[in-house]
Amino acid sequence: MKKNSMKQKLVSILLILVLAGTIPLLTAFSNKEPETLYRVYLKGESIGLIKSKEALEDYIDKRQNQIKEKFGVNKVYLPEDLDIEKEITFDDDVSSIKEIYKKIENISPFTIKGYEITIGAVDSQAVDGTEIKGKKQKIYVLDKKIFEEAVDNIVHSFVSEEDYENYANGTQKEIKDVGKVIESISIENKITIKRANIPVDETIYQDTGTLSKYLMFGTTEDQQKYTVQQGDTIEAIAFNNKISTEEFMIANPSFTSTNSLLYPGQEVTLGILKPQFRVVEVDHVVFDEETNYQTETQYDNTKEVGYSEIKQHGVKGVTRITQKIQKVNGATVDVAAVGTGEVLKEPVNEIIVRGGKKTSYYGGYGTAVATRGQWGWPATCSSISSPFGYRWGVLHDGTDIAGCGYGSNIFAALDGTVVQSGYKYDNGEFITIDHHNGYYSMYAHMVSGSRRVKVGDYVVKGQVIGSMGRTGAATGVHLHFSIWNGYPYRGGRALNAMSFY
């Protein structure tokens, strides 16, 4: 009775499947038993039925000795876009393993076991202020140790091995008077590593050196070479080839300093760095800095105009400065003063007696800061966060002075007439002065509303013209100071301001 009941149920199920169009009528009531087979899908499309999934996997593995030799692996796996699903069916149109293999081999790449590394995107800013959109990318390696060693190589390119080891081991020397302590070293990009089947048509890194090259330069192609000529210096070679001296040193690690000797015929590398992730270093730095003295002018009406005599020589003071310095891939991007500084020695004002009627020399704009030579220093501190020169193929046309503090005074470097005083998206609040000797000076990233002079005003060396800020394309508080031979960005040529001091 039970047997007849089971048969009736089976017939009912078959009738439902027939009516639904799932099973043909003749098939449904045939005496053939359904088989357990495997349907193979390539890129979502069925390419046939096989009897054994394992048999296909073994066939592919045995046929791909070339892949095994190339990558030094013991096993080759199915393509990523190949799916095999178990199917109970009456269909007897079964393909051979060889037939399925032929359909696969010229369409989809086979895979091998390795590691997929994802480096997250981080937006950044070029030295000229333009925004660089970060990109997310994947890197493939056979052994994750290759990636770990390559990352160490890149970090050590930007942080000295000694400093890194002392930081990692907690053996940094404590700052007693002056010195530096690394507070943190990190990679800004989010990095994930996972075990994966890697298509063999992807770039798969098999050694640390090749991957290190890619992570540093963004390519594995050989970098440009240069043959040293008589009289060459590292600084001149770097500038003439649009790279910074730091980039030169990283690309040529055998040189220990920018003063290293070169010899004619020597070959050096000129690769432009394009690091694939951002190594961020934060330093706590304490140092002693000379502070400029002020110059007082006294007028003696008994002396003729043009008479000048130094009544008291100026003496520079000394201030102990504490700063937090942030570097990204070896380049300083932000300098923040910690406190106002400890005065170790007060400066002594210089007093100059001039002939002529006594007048107000500065017109109420503030005190003057005198420096040695013709050009006056434009800020109250002298820390340079980014020098003049090329970085990553782009010219940084000024000198960034930082660490003076938000709102600190900015001074005119030389007498002249203000020809620009306004706002620009990259310079922020800025002022340009024509010194009537072929040279112009420019002062950028001032505090909003702090400009004290307007176009047409005549200023004198040391006159306060504004305050240090971070308007425009600035990552931190600093003064972008530049000197030009000719009108800036209108046919003029940017010069290294430090060559004037």
pLDDT in tens, 222-252: 889 999 999 999 999 999 998 888 888 888 8
Contact 492, 440 (CB under 8 A): yes
Within a domain: 185: yes
Hey, how many other C-beta atoms are within 10 angstroms of the C-beta on 341?
20
What amino acid occupies position 1?
M
Sort strands 295-300 and 350-355 into parallel, antiparallel or unpaired: parallel
pLDDT digits (tens, 9 = 90+) for 390-446: 887 788 999 999 988 899 999 999 999 999 999 998 899 999 999 999 999 999 999
Instruction: Judge if 103 and 113 occupy the same domain.
Output: no
- Spell 123-134 as b/e; 16+ CB within 10 A means b: eeeebebeeeeb
Q: pLDDT-based confidence at 127, cuts 50/70/90?
A: low
Split into its structural domains, the chain has a count of 4
Instruction: Judge if 178 and 244 occupy the same domain.
Output: no
Element (DSSP H or E) covering residue 45: strand 45-50
Q: pLDDT-based confidence at 293, cuts 50/70/90?
A: confident
Instruction: Judge if 49 and 149 occupy the same domain.
Output: no
Mean pLDDT of 185-214: 95
Residue of 481, 483, 478, 480 whose CA lies nearest to 500: 483
Instruction: Judge if 300 and 428 occupy the same domain.
Output: yes
Alpha carbon distance 39, 483 (integer Å): 73
Phi first, then psi, for residue 123 (nearest 5°) are -75, 150
Alpha carbon distance 13, 74 (integer Å): 48
Residue of 422, 416, 435 whose CA lies nearest to 484: 435
Q: Token pair of 206, please? A: 């098999």
Residue of 116, 119, 114, 136 whose CA lies nearest to 191: 119
Look up tokens 């002693």; give the residue: 288
Within a domain: 8: no
Averaged pLDDT of the chain: 86
Contact 440, 487 (CB under 8 A): yes
Instruction: Judge if 303 and 363 occupy the same domain.
Output: yes
Alpha carbon distance 481, 281 (integer Å): 25
Within a domain: 2: no
Within a domain: 329: no
Instruction: Judge if 460 and 392 occupy the same domain.
Output: yes
Instruction: Judge if 193 and 146 occupy the same domain.
Output: yes
Instruction: Judge if 46 and 98 occupy the same domain.
Output: yes
Instruction: Judge if 245 and 386 occupy the same domain.
Output: no
Parent domain of 80? 32-108
Alpha carbon distance 121, 350 (integer Å): 54
Instruction: Judge if 74 and 115 occupy the same domain.
Output: no
Reply yes or no on whether the pLDDT at 368 is more than 50. no
Instruction: Judge if 135 and 201 occupy the same domain.
Output: yes
Contact 190, 278 (CB under 8 A): no
Element (DSSP H or E) covering residue 345: strand 342-345
Within a domain: 324: no
Q: pLDDT-based confidence at 7, cuts 50/70/90?
A: very low
pLDDT of residue 18: 45
Q: What one-character-per-residue DSSP string does 248-317 give? A: HHHH-TT--STT----TT-EEE-PPP--SS-EEEEEEEEEEEEEPPBEEEEEETTS-TT-EEEEE--B-E
pTM for this entry? 0.72
Hey, how many other C-beta atoms are within 10 angstroms of the C-beta on 175?
13
Residue of 20, 112, 394, 356 whose CA lies nearest to 243: 394
Look up tokens 């008479």; give the residue: 307
Phi first, then psi, for residue 101 (nearest 5°) are -60, -45
What amino acid occupies position 421?
S
Alpha carbon distance 225, 212 (integer Å): 18
Instruction: Judge if 304 and 433 occupy the same domain.
Output: yes
